[in-house]
Copies of this chain bind each other. A is one copy, B any other.
């Protein structure tokens, strides 16, 4: 039984918490919160032990109806692994985790150098063996690694180019813009996404450009890859179909936009309408000479959740990659080869 704590209960933390609760080989010891808000209250109602991210938040909690179980240090004393889901404060917390002697999973907002190992389950699960700390890469990097793994394994990639249209804010982030503009972000090229993919797949030649647009639900990647062989479009579709955690959708089935994909997740009763899969439009897959083109959608809030679960097993159990991914997928309702 892996005893798991989660430091931070925002976009990622609360999803990892629910996913941990679904694993038969894991125990959720507790999560930390900074505010006794509706999220803390709902967590407590679900029976999740809420700890203070810092002792200074105690008065706020004491004034509220939300009970707290102790401090972060108390939480760390009871766990084997802490999942750092702080807003890019992992580097600040690392020494506390080390001091407590717990293993740690960090998120993609941290630098690769923080752990020296950037993790995507299907690409490098086994490399995490023996590490006490790993970094699960960001949502966009995770989505790209999955599809590049499919293309690279089957056809070889001589050059990948991706234009990322990034959702500007999560649905509850009402203070962020833009409302009616496209922001080249960054203006300079390449964006950090290409080098971040290379932190998992060092041999891949990839250049990325990113723009920020007024949507909240998913990132949309336009993928252009020069392959080392010249497959038919159907072979590319097959390779993506065979790849774990990649979902193929078609416009003729009603998938006209990113909104349709989120709506599908709502119809499927996925918790928080989460889409854990990298989603590729099957009818976008096109091949011209040695170049393949397709559209890829990434649910920024959800795609890294299975990776966090697998990373926990990779550093804190003897579970094999295949076993772990199978357990994770079954628990989250991820069907490969859709």
Contacts and interface: CB of A to CB of B under 8 A. Distances in A.
Interface of A: 159, 161, 163, 165, 178, 180-184, 187-190, 207, 209, 211, 213-218, 220, 222, 224, 251, 256-260, 281, 283-284, 286, 288, 291, 293-295, 297
A291 B294 CA distance: 20
A251 B187 contact: yes
Given A184-B281, A184-B284, A211-B165, A189 B291 contact: no
A262 B250 CA distance: 36
A259 B181 contact: yes
22 contacts: A161-B224, A163-B224, A165-B165, A165-B211, A180-B215, A181-B215, A181-B217, A181-B257, A182-B215, A182-B257, A184-B257, A187-B251, A187-B281, A189-B284, A189-B286, A189-B293, A189-B294, A190-B293, A209-B224, A211-B220, A213-B215, A224-B224
Tell me how many chains of this kind the complex includes.
2
A59 B187 CA distance: 53
Contacts of A260: 181
A291 B189 CA distance: 12
Nearest to A293: B189
B180 A217 contact: yes
